[in-house]
Structure 1
Amino acid sequence: MRIVVHGQQAFGKAVLERLLERGEDVVAVCTAPTKEGKPEDPLAELAREKGLPLHQPASWKTPEALELMKSFDADVCMMAYVLLFVPEAVRDAPKFGTFQYHPSLCPHHRGPSSINWPIAMGREQTGLTIFWPDDGLDEGPILLQKTCAIGPDETLGDVYFKKLFPMGVDAMMESLDLVKAGVILKHDQRLDQGSYESWFKKANAEIDWSKPVADQYNIIRAANPAPGAWTTHKGETVQIFDSARADGEGTAGQVVEVSSEGVTVQGNGGRIIIKRVRPAGGDKQPAADWAASAGLSAGDILGS
C-alpha cells in the first residue's frame, strides 16, 4: 500500500519511524515549511535522512498542492499532528482518503488544546481518536478510539508523553491495518457534536486562590509543562509547575510555609505545595530557591 505521511514534530517522526520499521511503502512525506532561523522539523529531518521525497508547501489550498497530492498516486494519507488546513479535494486524492490522529475522546475536547482541558476540568479519563477529517474543526467520521485514565496527580506532560503519544503511534498503525483489511467504514458516529475548546492560553492558567483547591491543582497539572500555571508575588509573575496537594485551612493565597520541600500556599479547602517554578525572566528552579531569592516568607499573599 502506497502511503503519504503528513505531519509534524516528534509525533510525526515517531509515526514515520514505525512505518519504516514495518517495511511500509512510504511514497512521500509532507510537513510544514521550515521557518527562517528555526531548526528543521524532526519529521523533515528523518525524511531527508532516509532519502524519502519531502514536500513542504506553505498552503494546501492551491491547485498546485492538489496536483502534488495526486502525483503521489497514494492509497492513503496518514495525518499525524497537522496544523495546516487541508481541503477536501486534497484529502480525498489518495485512493482510500485521509485519516487523522486527535488526542481526545472526540467529539469531546475538539480543538488545539485537547489534552489540557480535560485535566483542567478534573476529568478522570481521556483518550485518542483516529478519524476521517472533513472541513470542520476536528470533525468527521470516527475510525477508532482508545481510552486512558488521567491519574489524580498526572500533568499534561505525563498524559501526553507517557500515554497519548505511544498509544497514538500504535493507533495509527492499527488504523492503517484496518484500511488494508478494507475496514474504511465512514459510519454515523460523527465528531460535529460535543465540546470544542480553543487554545489553553496564559489567561486560562492563572491561579485563583479563592477557588476550590481541586480546581487550582487541576489548572497547575493541565498547564505543566505548557503554558505554565502562574500567580504573582509583589507584582511579579511566577509560573508554577510541579506541585502537590495537602490538607489545611487558612486565608486563601497565603504562604503557610517555606521549606526545602517547597512553598505551601493556602487554597480554598486545602493547600498546594509548590515544588518547581519559573520566575519572570528566570529559569525553572526549585520553589525553595525562588522563595529565598524573592524574599518570600510565611504570611505573604500570592496573587494580590
Structure 2
Amino acid sequence: MRIVFAGTPDFAVPSLRVAAAQGEVVAVYTQPDRPAGRGRALAASPVKQAALELGLPVLQPETLRTVQARRELRDLRPDLMVVVAYGLLLPPKVLELPVHGCWNVHASLLPRWRGAAPIQRAIEAGDAETGVCLMQMEQGLDTGPVLLSQATPIGPQETGGQLHARLADLGAQVLRDGLALLRAGIRPAPRPQPDAGATYAHKLDKAEARLDWTQPADALARKVRAFHPWPVAEAEVAGERLRVHGAVALPLAHRAAPGTVLFAGRDGIDVACGEGALRIRALQRAGGKAITAADYLNARRDLVASSS
C-alpha cells in the first residue's frame, strides 16, 4: 500500500512508527514549525522529528484547502491516509482522494468525547474507562463509522499525561490491526456511531485550571489529574497562588468555609471544599519548581502552626 500519514504531536508518533514499519509510508504531513520555548525559536513537531529519523519525506502546508495542496496529495497516489491528531481539517475533496479514504485514530470510545481533548475530559468527568477507536473519516467532527476499537480502564489516580501515553500506544496497536486486515484484503467493517451517548470534548483552556473551592473535593481531584501535565491546576491557598501537581479527595466532614486550610503536615495540605477536603500533595510556587507539600511547608511554618 501507499500510505500518507498526517499527525503533529507526541500522541501520533507511535502510530507513525506502526504505519512506517512495512515501508509503505510515502509522505508525512504535519503542521508547520511553530515558535516554542523561551527563545521562541521555530521548532519541528514531534511527528516531523520522528519522520526525519525514519527517512520519510515531510510536507507542511498551512492548509489542505488549496488546489496546490490537493495536487501534491494526488500526485502521491495514496491508497490510504492515516490521520492522528493532525490539527488541520481535511476538506471533502481530500477525504475522497485515497483509494480507501482516510482513517483516524481517536482517543476515546466514540461517540463519547468527540473533539479536541477526549483524554482529559474523560478523567475530569470521572469515567471508569476510555479507549481508542480507528474511525473512517467523514465531513463531521469525529462522526465517522468505527472500524476497530479497544477499551481500557482509567486508573483511580491516573493523570492526563499518563493516560495520554497509554492511549498513544493503544491507538498504535489498533492501527496495526487495521492495517494488517487491509493488507490481507479484508476491509474492517464500518460500524455507524449511535446518536445516543455523544459528547463533545472541547479544547483545554488555561482559564479552566483555576480550582473553585466551593466545588466538591472529588471534582477538584479529578481536575488536578486531568490537567496534568498541562495546563496544571491552580489554586489560592492561604493567600498564595499555587499550581497543584498532585492531590487526592478526602471524604471529610467539616463546617469550614471553602478554601480554609484544615490541616498542614507531612502528608499534605488539606483544604476545605464545598463537600469534603482536597489534600494537596505536590505543588509549585510562582517561579519555582514542583515540590512536595512537605517541602513547601518547610518555608510555610505558619500553616503548620495554625492548623496544629
Q: Distance in 1 between matches of 2:302 and 2:287?
A: 17
Amino acid at match of 2:19: L
Q: Tell me if the contact between 1:141 and 1:191 (Cα under 8 Å) persists in the aligned partners.
A: no
Instruction: Report how far residue 288 of structure 1 moved.
Output: 2.9
Instruction: Report how far residue 164 of structure 1 moved.
Output: 0.9
- Higher mean alpha-carbon deviation, 208-217 vs 83-92, is at 208-217
Alignment of 1:42 with 2:41, yes or no, is: no
**Structure 1 equivalent of residue 64 of structure 2:** 60
Note closer, same or farther for the CA distance 1:11–1:223 as it changes in structure 2 (3 Å cut). Answer: closer
Quick one: percent identity of the two aligned structures?
A: 28
Q: Distance in 2 between matches of 1:12 and 1:153?
A: 24
Cα deviation digits, residues 75-103 of structure 1 (max 9, x gap)? 10111221011112112211111100111
Alignment of 1:168 with 2:171, yes or no, is: yes
**Structure 2 equivalent of residue 285 of structure 1:** 291
Q: Distance in 1 between matches of 2:263 and 2:161?
A: 27
**Structure 2 equivalent of residue 5 of structure 1:** 5
Q: Tell me if the contact between 1:111 and 1:198 (Cα under 8 Å) persists in the aligned partners.
A: yes
3-state SS of paired residue (2:175)? helix
**Structure 1 equivalent of residue 127 of structure 2:** 123
Q: Which stretches of structure 1, 4 residues or more, deviate above 6 A after TM superposition?
A: none
Q: Distance in 2 between matches of 1:192 and 1:85?
A: 25
Q: Distance in 2 between matches of 1:126 and 1:34?
A: 31
Note closer, same or farther for the CA distance 1:184–1:115 as it changes in structure 2 (3 Å cut). Answer: same
Q: Distance in 2 between matches of 1:234 and 1:271?
A: 15
**Structure 2 equivalent of residue 152 of structure 1:** 156
**Structure 2 equivalent of residue 31 of structure 1:** 30
The Cα RMSD (Å) is 2.4
The 5-angstrom pairing of residues 223-238 of structure 1 reads 223-233=227-237, 236-238=240-242
Q: Distance in 2 between matches of 1:97 and 1:196?
A: 24
Note closer, same or farther for the CA distance 1:67–1:34 as it changes in structure 2 (3 Å cut). Answer: same
3-state SS of paired residue (1:265)? strand
3-state SS of paired residue (1:172)? helix
Note closer, same or farther for the CA distance 1:263–1:35 as it changes in structure 2 (3 Å cut). Answer: same
Q: Tell me if the contact between 2:7 and 2:83 (Cα under 8 Å) persists in the aligned partners.
A: yes
Q: Distance in 1 between matches of 2:221 and 2:265?
A: 20
Q: Distance in 1 between matches of 2:27 and 2:119?
A: 29
Q: Tell me if the contact between 1:255 and 1:299 (Cα under 8 Å) persists in the aligned partners.
A: no
**Structure 2 equivalent of residue 114 of structure 1:** 118
The 5-angstrom pairing of residues 1-304 of structure 1 reads 1-20=1-20, 22-36=21-35, 37-161=41-165, 163-180=166-183, 181-189=185-193, 194-233=198-237, 236-250=240-254, 251=256, 252-293=258-299, 297-298=303-304
Q: Distance in 1 between matches of 2:160 and 2:108?
A: 13
Note closer, same or farther for the CA distance 1:191–1:159 as it changes in structure 2 (3 Å cut). Answer: farther
Amino acid at match of 1:281: G
3-state SS of paired residue (1:264)? strand
3-state SS of paired residue (1:199)? coil
Q: Distance in 2 between matches of 1:296 and 1:104?
A: 45
The normalised TM-score by structure 1 is 0.89
Instruction: Report how far residue 145 of structure 1 moved.
Output: 1.5
Note closer, same or farther for the CA distance 1:12–1:269 as it changes in structure 2 (3 Å cut). Answer: closer
Instruction: Report how far residue 188 of structure 1 moved.
Output: 3.0
3-state SS of paired residue (2:303)? coil
Unpaired runs of at least 5, structure 2: 36-40
Q: Distance in 2 between matches of 1:101 and 1:241?
A: 29
Q: Tell me if the contact between 2:101 and 2:137 (Cα under 8 Å) persists in the aligned partners.
A: no
Note closer, same or farther for the CA distance 1:296–1:282 as it changes in structure 2 (3 Å cut). Answer: farther
**Structure 1 equivalent of residue 38 of structure 2:** none
- Higher mean alpha-carbon deviation, 211-220 vs 166-175, is at 211-220
Cα deviation digits, residues 58-115 of structure 1 (max 9, x gap)? 1111111111111111110111221011112112211111100111111111111111
Cα deviation digits, residues 148-190 of structure 1 (max 9, x gap)? 11122222122221x2111011111112223333315444336
Note closer, same or farther for the CA distance 1:193–1:125 as it changes in structure 2 (3 Å cut). Answer: closer
- Higher mean alpha-carbon deviation, 189-198 vs 127-136, is at 189-198
Note closer, same or farther for the CA distance 1:86–1:283 as it changes in structure 2 (3 Å cut). Answer: same
